[in-house]
Amino acid sequence: MTHVAPIDDETAIAAYLAAHRDATPFHDRRWLRAVERGCGQTYHRLAATDGDGNLTGYLPLTHIRSRVFGSALVSTGFAVGGGILADDHASAAQLADAAWTLAAELGAGTLELRGGRVPGDDLGDRSWIADATTYAGFVADLADDDDAQLLAIPRKQRAEVRKALGGSLTVRTGRDAVDRREHYRVYAQSVRNLGTPVFPRRLFDAVLDGFGDDADILTVRDGDTPVASVLSLYHRGTVMPYWGGGTHAARHLRANERMYYELMLHARRRGCARFDFGRSKSGTGAYAYKKNWGFVPEPLTYYARTAEGERMRSINPSDAKYRLQVALWKKLPLGIANRIGPMLARGLG
């Protein structure tokens, strides 16, 4: 018989994650603790066990609280994945039920599961809503050497990379104070230009500190000026560029093209064989950009459940209701956006 309860047994969790093929960095306690330390959002962990006490399922959850965006229980906060891991349907269903009970206890009107096992009898429970059309992921194998990697890029995009390689840009990788400062400077400007608030800098610091050698920063400079930068995670031979962006100058310098190509080479030298370009919303410029690199979109399925009388939480800046706010945010002076942004963004998880 399956039993579900909170779990704090780090050894058992680590062993289960190591053995499960679908485990991601977002199931890891390091991610949960980084979000808690960086954004003040607490986490919970549930486990399903069999009659002998062996884990048959696991579900990490972050309680996201925001005066602006409301309260939600999310698996996993500030992540693109992290949904239910389970060995069987019964374990998955009971984990989903236990998470819904916990959401009610916490006063969270919405429960969000990002990927993972279906949280019910093939969604026969109509209280769950599945969305497999909004987001797509982009993953591809890395080539065997630098030249092959360049040739693997479709012709038009390869021409842009070649132009970037022919310029005077330089590349730096690391995790120290300089890398962190330059990354945040670039990333904050990038998201302001897109009309969205920047996450607290302490979130990036907490991820880097927590993941150690499994995370780093690659920055492209024009002279002494950082113009593109990305913070990446490394997991099971896959590099995951997670928080990246460029300044206004990056476009004509083709710094983003240089950044992602150099990250492919850097990751292979670290022993990686796969490049996970992350998720993008269907129909957006980012979605088209990743296809230009030769990546094939794969639908991501997310599940959500909302309490009766509650509205489904919406935090996607592409939603029509945020059109005015996004337009106004793009016009904010960077200094003001960087002061206000983290207070808002900590509730976007």
pTM equals: 0.93
Residue-wise pLDDT tens digits, 163-193 = 999 999 999 999 999 999 999 999 999 999 9
Which is more confidently placed, 30 or 127? Answer: 30
- Find out whether 256 and 219 touch, Cβ atoms under 8 Å: no
Domains 3-132+301-313 and 138-296 share a fold: yes
> For 80, phi and psi rounded to 5 degrees?
-100, -5
Residue-wise pLDDT tens digits, 277-322 = 999 999 899 999 999 999 999 999 999 999 887 777 766 666 666 6
Confidence of residue 157 (pLDDT cuts 50, 70, 90): very high
- Tokens representing 287 are 């979605």
- Output the pLDDT for position 123: 46
Distance of CA 107 to the CA centre of its chain: 25
Q: Which CATH class is domain 138-296?
A: alpha beta
The ranges assigned to domains in the chain are: 3-132+301-313, 138-296
Torsion of CA 131, 134, 138, 139, to 10 degrees: -10
> For 346, phi and psi rounded to 5 degrees?
-65, -15
Question: How far separated are the first and last CA of the chain, in Å rounded?
Answer: 34
Calculate mean pLDDT across residues 4-32.
Answer: 96
User: Checking DSSP bridges between strand 274-281 and strand 238-246, what pairing results, if any?
Assistant: parallel
Residue-wise pLDDT tens digits, 100-128 = 999 999 999 999 999 999 886 544 455 88
- Output the pLDDT for position 177: 98
- Output the pLDDT for position 56: 97
Calculate mean pLDDT across residues 1-17.
Answer: 93
For the chain, what is the total number of helices (H) and then of strands (E)?
12, 15
Mean pLDDT of the chain: 93
Residue environment code for 97-109, b if the CB has 16+ CB neighbours within 10 A, otherwise e: ebbbebbeebebb
Count the neighbouring beta carbons within 10 Å of the beta carbon of residue 166. Answer: 9
Residue-wise pLDDT tens digits, 243-276 = 999 999 999 999 999 999 999 999 999 999 999 9
What is 193-236 written as a DSSP string?
HHT-PPPPHHHHHHHHHHHGGGEEEEEEEETTEEEEEEEEEEET
Architecture of domain 3-132+301-313: 3-Layer(aba) Sandwich (3.40)
Count CA within 13 A, CB hemisphere, residue 65.
9
Distance of CA 50 to the CA centre of its chain: 31
- Output the pLDDT for position 321: 65
Residue-wise pLDDT tens digits, 202-233 = 999 999 999 999 999 999 999 999 999 999 99
Which neighbouring-strand residues pair with 217? 174, 231
